[in-house]
Amino acid sequence: MTNIFLTGGSGYVGRHLIPVLRREGHQVTALARSDSAAALLTGLGATPVPGELTDLEVLRAGAAAAGAVIHLGQVLGAEAQRADLGAATALLDGLGDRGPYLHTGGTWVYGDTAGVVDEQAELRPPEITAWRVGNERKVLARKDSGAHPVVVMPGLVFGDGGGIVEFAYAAPGRETGVVPCAGDGGNHWSLVHVADLAELYALALSAPAGSVYAGTVDTFPTQFEVAAAVAKSTGATVAHLDPAQAQARFGAFAEALSLDQRISGARARRELGWTPRHTDPVATLTGATLAT
C-alpha cells in the first residue's frame, strides 16, 4: 500500500482516478481548494488537504508525507506555465527519491503528425500548449538528481459527461440543436476515454524513471466523425465553421482542435499492460449520454 498525494483530485480525471487507486489498495491524500471539493474527495475515499495549486508549501508538505505523487491539477490562462512548473518543483522537492512522480502533459504538443507516430515524434505544439514543452523537459531532467519522474500524455479525453467533447460539442448540440465542427472536420484526433486514462495513471506508478507515455487508443476518428456521433446522440445537426467562426466559437482551442493527430498509445500497452476498453470512440459517443 502506498500513500499517494494527488493534485486535481476533484477534477474530471481525478474523480475517476481516485476509485482506481483505492481499488488497488492505495491511500490517497488530495489537494482541495474548496469545501465542496473536500466533500467530493472524502466521498471518493480520499483525505482532503486544504489548499490551492499555488500554495507551494502545502504541496511540498503533502508530497513529503507521501510515497508517490500524481499531478493532475492545472491553472488556466496566462499563469499556466509558471503555476505548473512551481507546483511540479515543489512536489518533486517534497517527494525526493522515495517514489514516482507522475506529471500530466498532453498530446497536443506534437502538433500535426504525418501518419501514426509515437512519443518520440517531433514536438510542434500549438500556441495554447507550447508552454508545456519546457516544463516537461525540466520535470524529466530531475531524474538526473535522483527523482523518479514519469510523464503521462493524454490525448483528447472524453466520456462520462466531461471534457472538451462535452462542453464544446455536445452541450451546444443539446442547447441549440447544432454541433460545431472546425472546417471540414477531416483532421484526425487521438482520444482516450477518461476511465481508461485513470487506469493508465495507476499503471504508470510502476513505470521506469524518465518514461513518457501517450494515453491514446489507436483508433483515430476525424473531428467530423466525432461531431457527427455527438450530433446523433443529442439529436442535433453538424455545422461547419470557417476559420473566423471557429476562432469565435472555440477561442484559444481552435488551433488545437484543428490539428491532424494520430499518436499511438502502443508503448503503454506494451510496457505497462494497459488495456483500454473504449477503443472505438465514435461508437461510444454515438450511444453516449454525454451530460452528467
**Domains in the chain, start-ordered, CATH in brackets?**
3-156+192-215 (3.40.50.720), 159-189+218-261+277-286 (3.90.25)
Instruction: Look up residue 109 and give its amino acid.
Output: V
Of the candidates 202, 146, 180, 188, the one whose C-alpha atom is nearest the C-alpha of residue 254 is 180
pLDDT at position 288 is 61
Are 281 and 191 a contacting pair, CB within 8 Å?
yes
Residues of the chain with pLDDT under 50: 289-292
Give the model confidence (pLDDT) of 105-143 as tens digits: 999 999 999 899 999 999 999 999 999 999 999 999 999
Are 144 and 151 a contacting pair, CB within 8 Å?
no
Of the candidates 179, 166, 192, 194, the one whose C-alpha atom is nearest the C-alpha of residue 265 is 192
> Angle at CA 282, nearest 5°, toward 279 and 283?
75
pLDDT at position 291 is 39
* CA–CA distances in Å: residue 85 to residues 53, 71, 135: 11, 11, 6
Give the model confidence (pLDDT) of 178-193 as tens digits: 999 999 999 999 999 9
CA distance 61 to 90: 9
Q: What is the dihedral of CA 29, 34, 38, 39, to 10 degrees?
A: -170
pLDDT at position 215 is 98
Query: Terminus-to-terminus CA distance in the chain, angstroms?
Result: 32
> Which residue is listed with cell 518520440?
120
> What is the pTM assigned to this prediction?
0.96
Instruction: Look up residue 247 and give its amino acid.
Output: Q
CA distance 114 to 141: 28
Are 185 and 223 a contacting pair, CB within 8 Å?
yes
